[in-house]
């Protein structure tokens, strides 16, 4: 399952969202809806989309009937899940459920477009750390549902030496030499042929070609010639990702997957059960 509901950050995010929206109580629902009224909610796709986050409904509601799982391709009018519960519960949690489904499915849908755009090139699309604060695990799971290879989760699980690290460490060589203490594979951002050559001599396992044009990237990937893995990043969009993929790097990363994905249209219909 792409969405691991045992991860503590998931329940924390949902609890925070519920507390933010409900506060001390849903005054509209509590004042208008009988406490014993039962109802059914249907979560329905209103557009073509790649689903992400339907498994979260099992945390928000008791025993939802989930019909489509994360990663499923949906068409308009496809039912994602149905939930039978107290009407007050459904009305109070409807918006939080939709916020998660719409946001996460938006990421999965955009990701799938990036993956489709590079089909046949052998390039793998990576997500980044450009996520909504507090929602990283969920947004990276959504990106995986759309077909990415998840990059590092945070600063703690991989070495990625960026331009500012290089500047403050005194150059490519001292930065790499100091990074060896972490005993992890070393990836380093490079912007010039000189930096590329130095990084290769120092044994970097992956080179991040940053803010190059597709033509420049193709030249440098050819020069590197598989002596290290290559990743292209910086300015990558859905419109130009194919051009970058034609340079034949191993990976392309794009922050747009998470920071610029539009929410998709998912509807919740609630009916009283008499």
Using alpha carbons, select from 111, 103, 57 the residue that is nearest to residue 80. Answer: 57
| 226 in catalytic set | no
| 95 in catalytic set | yes
| 162 in catalytic set | yes
| 124 in catalytic set | no
> 55, 139, 187, 189: which one is catalytic?
189
> 187, 210, 231, 250: which one is catalytic?
210
> 11, 162, 178, 180: which one is catalytic?
162
> 11, 12, 95, 269: which one is catalytic?
95
Radius of gyration for the chain, computed over Cα atoms and rounded to the nearest angstrom = 22
Dihedral angle over CA of 64, 2, 135, 250, nearest 10: -160
Strands of 186-190's sheet in order across: 124-126, 251-253, 229-233, 206-210, 186-190, 159-161
> 73, 129, 130, 173: which one is catalytic?
130
| 210 in catalytic set | yes
- Which residues are known to be catalytic? 95, 130, 162, 189, 210
């Amino acid at each position: 399952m792409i969405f691991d509901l045992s991860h503590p950050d998931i329940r924390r995010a949902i609890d925070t969202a519920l507390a933010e929206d409900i506060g001390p109580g849903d005054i509209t629902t509590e004042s208008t809806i009988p406490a014993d009224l039962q109802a059914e909610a249907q979560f329905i796709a209103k557009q073509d989309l790649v689903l992400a986050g339907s498994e979260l409904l099992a945390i928000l509601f008791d025993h939802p009937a989930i019909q489509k799982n994360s990663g499923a391709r949906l068409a308009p009018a496809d039912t994602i899940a149905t939930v039978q519960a107290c009407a007050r519960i459904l009305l109070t949690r409807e918006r939080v459920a939709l916020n998660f489904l719409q946001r996460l499915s938006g990421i999965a849908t955009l990701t799938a477009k990036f993956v489709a755009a590079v089909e046949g090139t052998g390039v793998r699309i990576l997500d980044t750390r450009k996520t909504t604060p507090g929602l990283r695990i969920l947004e990276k799971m959504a990106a995986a549902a759309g077909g990415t290879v998840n990059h590092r989760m945070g600063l703690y699980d991989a070495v990625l030496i960026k331009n500012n690290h290089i500047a403050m460490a005194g150059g490519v060589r001292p930065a790499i030499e100091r990074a060896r203490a972490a005993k992890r594979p070393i990836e380093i951002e490079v912007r010039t042929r000189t930096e590329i050559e130095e990084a290769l001599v120092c044994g970097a396992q992956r080179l991040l070609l940053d803010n190059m044009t597709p033509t420049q990237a193709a030249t440098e990937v050819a020069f590197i010639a598989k002596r290290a893995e290559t990743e292209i990043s910086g300015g990558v969009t859905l419109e130009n990702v194919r051009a970058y993929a034609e340079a034949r790097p191993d990976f392309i990363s794009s922050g747009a997957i998470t920071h610029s994905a539009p929410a998709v249209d998912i509807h919740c219909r609630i009916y009283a059960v008499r």
